[in-house]
Amino acid sequence: MARRLLEMSLAAGVFAASLLAQNTPGSLRTQQDKNNQTLREPKDPPLVAVGDAERLVFHVSPLSGKGLLSEQTRDALKAILKLNGGGQIVHIRALSAGNGDVRRIPQIVADVLGDKHGPLPSISVLQVGGLTVDDAQIVLETVSLGRKTVNRDGVTFHAAETVTATEPTNPLPGLLQRAAEQLAAKMNGRQALAVTCFVSSLEGAAELIRTVTTRFPGAATDLVQPRRLAWQTEASCEGVSRGGSHAGRIALTGTQVAFGTEEKDAALAAQRLDRALAEVGAARLGEASLVRLYLLAPGTAGVAGKPVSGAAAVAMYSVESVGPASGGFAMDAVSPVK
């Protein structure tokens, strides 16, 4: 009899506990379920992303001097998503002028975009010398997919050519004007969609910005000082125009860092980028539309460009850093998908 009473008592206790767990908000069971949840690690952005050239749209995030690098990066991403209507971002070139750790930028992007905005974009991450707003630590140049066809005849990516001062007294505004005219000549009357100009100094930034926006009205424009201490007085402009060479799918890579400045380091970086391009069916570096080399020292130009043999247009830029402390230089590319 005692055993029977004990069994009945235990059963009643189990039933009461079950009923309590089902009907009480914030119950112990609910709390345990929360505690047992496994937080998902953000995915790593891909080295290469692909988009349809006919739907590509281009934006530059507004600059802000508020907050640290992480906050500014999140705010810049939110601004881009507002500009592109929440569309899928295919590629980001993140140019950081602050002292924050630029290696965190891809994970911040992955955290913000997550699974809500399609596949993650490829990301080129660079540390530069300065931006045109005080205390601004980052600007994002983005390529997104529009909801409809906007480039029926495709797009063309144009490499930058550097205009340098022949004399120390050559004013920078004149050099920038020449660089902008060179880019406009390449576009040959086609509409400019995006333009980025690099200048050795941001003194008189307002005038420099007007030079670019006046010459390329309607384009997403950016003006960047690539190094704090320039190697020489110079200006260069690269851009994208509507119509021309790309009317199908196009691959845009993030930066591949070469961990050293010897030929073997350059060859290994190029091989990794070639392999990633091949995996998405894109042309390799030698057949790419544009290869950009980001150099930390002028003496690495010959080594960095050596593995890129072929018809690809090659542009070289001087920057402060490519992220990893051991990085010698970095490269990224734009390549048609076969």
Shared domain for 121 and 185, answered yes or no, is no
Full-model pTM: 0.86
Among 150, 178, 199, give the residue marking a domain's end: 150
Domains: count for the chain: 3
Residue 270 lies in a domain: yes
Residue 302 lies in a domain: yes
The mean pLDDT value for 159-179 works out to 89
Shared domain for 143 and 200, answered yes or no, is no
Residue 227 lies in a domain: yes
Residue 168 lies in a domain: yes
Among 134, 150, 166, give the residue marking a domain's end: 150
Among 217, 244, 271, give the residue marking a domain's end: 244
Instruction: Supply the range of the domain harboring residue 127.
Output: 39-150
Shared domain for 137 and 232, answered yes or no, is no
Residue 207 lies in a domain: yes
Predicted pLDDT of residue 246: 75
Tokens 């576009």 locate to 187
Exposed (0-12), middle (13-18) or buried (19+): which is 8, by Cβ within 10 Å?
exposed
Shared domain for 159 and 237, answered yes or no, is yes
Shared domain for 167 and 192, answered yes or no, is yes
Shared domain for 182 and 199, answered yes or no, is yes
Shared domain for 193 and 140, answered yes or no, is no
Predicted pLDDT of residue 42: 57
CATH number at residue 165: 3.30.1330.40
Residue 115 lies in a domain: yes
Express each pLDDT in 66-116 by its tens digit: 999 999 999 999 999 999 999 999 999 999 998 889 999 999 999 999 867
Shared domain for 270 and 197, answered yes or no, is no
Express each pLDDT in 281-308 by its tens digit: 999 999 999 999 999 998 999 999 999 9
Residue 30 lies in a domain: no
Shared domain for 326 and 313, answered yes or no, is yes
Residue 24 lies in a domain: no
